[in-house]
Amino acid sequence: MIERIGIVGGGQLGRMMTEAAKPLGFEVTVIDPVENCPAGQVGADQIQAPLSDLEAIDSLAHDVDVITWEIEHIPAEYLEYLANEGHDIEPDPHTLAIIQDKFIQKELLRNNGIPVAPYSEHLDESNFIGGGPFIVKSRKGGYDGRGNLVVTDLNRILIEDHFGETSVYVEQVLPFEAELSVIVARDKSGQTVAYPPVETVHEENICHTVVVAQEDSKLPITKQAIDIAQDTLKLLSGAGVFAIEMFVVNGQIVVNEIAPRVHNSGHHTIEANVTSQFEQQIRAVTGLPLGSTELRVGAAAMINILGTREKPLTREGLDRVLSRPDTHVHFYGKSSRPARKIGHITVLGGSKEYVKLEVSDARKELII
């Protein structure tokens, strides 16, 4: 039986995985460059090193029974090598390598009949029916919108000026009605589950608010989103949680991106669902059976707490936040810095409209 789990990355996602792993009796070791990283503060042992440090990853592989990660920008090839050497790496590092290159990821999706926005590796408008606007994305390393550039036309000089030598591809920007995310998971026996789809609202490219409601479970778009997420999961190998991010365009699902890990759009599952995405990840990678993804409540909403300026964490207004009904706060043990994710608030309630309003009001009470 697996006793010790290794996680590449010890930020908030590694922290919440650690919080889920400990009650199940697992030990956790993380690699993270930051001294006393968020996961280290809740009992994970820490190898203090950059996430790209192959020696640290090698040492982790020899310390633990299974390796997983909280972030996709890590040495996939080296993890593949370790997997070939017989180490248990979940999910499949080959899948990680594909997802890391957003262009290859898009190819995988399109070649397997998953609906995606028109895209091309060539900066040539004639590849696109209907024209701009376009979004130029660096193929590797981008997250939270970093590495993306929105343009009205494909001016090569402007784009090369922005990206330099970075390898990019271009996608057509589609006018969407909503952004959805579906978290799916696969255990080691091949069983899969899907969480109820959530609506995500991004502000300045960062996931800002997440809302989910029982009332949406009967909608045709909900069924379509789950089906497409399950179809997407079939293209990915290994055990673990994956987040499938989508747009709704003219009432149809278009897949945007895959995150091969626990995801910001699943934080509400800690309180709102029978099994949290973090416990699900721990179950999946350790060979335990998956748990129910059912919502316990009518609706839930999650809002990120973003840092402001560089300073230690203050929690002024926490008393007002916690005086609100069924409102739950998670700080990550990080100091404040502009736009840094330092915590989140989840509100549970009866309806989508109620929790959306409540979570936004709750956030306003907190002065960071």
Contacts with a copy of itself, residue ranges (CB under 8 A): 1, 19, 22-25, 40-43, 274, 283, 287-289, 291-292, 296-297, 313, 315-316, 318-319, 322-323, 325-326, 328-331, 333, 343, 348
Of 163, 164, 366, 185, residue with least CA distance to 261: 185
DSSP state of 311: B
Beta carbon of residue 161, minimum distance to a copy of itself (angstroms, whole number): 43
Taking the least distance from each CB to a copy of itself, the nearer of 149 and 194 is 194
Taking the least distance from each CB to a copy of itself, the nearer of 223 and 296 is 296
Beta carbon of residue 112, minimum distance to a copy of itself (angstroms, whole number): 31
Taking the least distance from each CB to a copy of itself, the nearer of 140 and 315 is 315
Beta carbon of residue 198, minimum distance to a copy of itself (angstroms, whole number): 20
CA 350 – CA 215 distance, rounded (Å): 9
**Do residues 72 and 48 touch, judged by C-beta distance below 8 A?**
no
Which residues in the chain belong to E strands, given as ranges? 4-8, 27-32, 45-48, 66-69, 119-120, 134-138, 148-151, 168-172, 178-186, 192-194, 198-203, 206-213, 240-249, 252-259, 299-306, 327-331, 341-349
Angle between helices 93-100 and 76-84 (to 10 degrees): 160
Show the tokens assigned to 89: 């790496």
Taking the least distance from each CB to a copy of itself, the nearer of 322 and 339 is 322
Beta carbon of residue 289, minimum distance to a copy of itself (angstroms, whole number): 4
For 204, the 3-state DSSP assignment is: coil
Beta carbon of residue 219, minimum distance to a copy of itself (angstroms, whole number): 25
Taking the least distance from each CB to a copy of itself, the nearer of 27 and 171 is 27
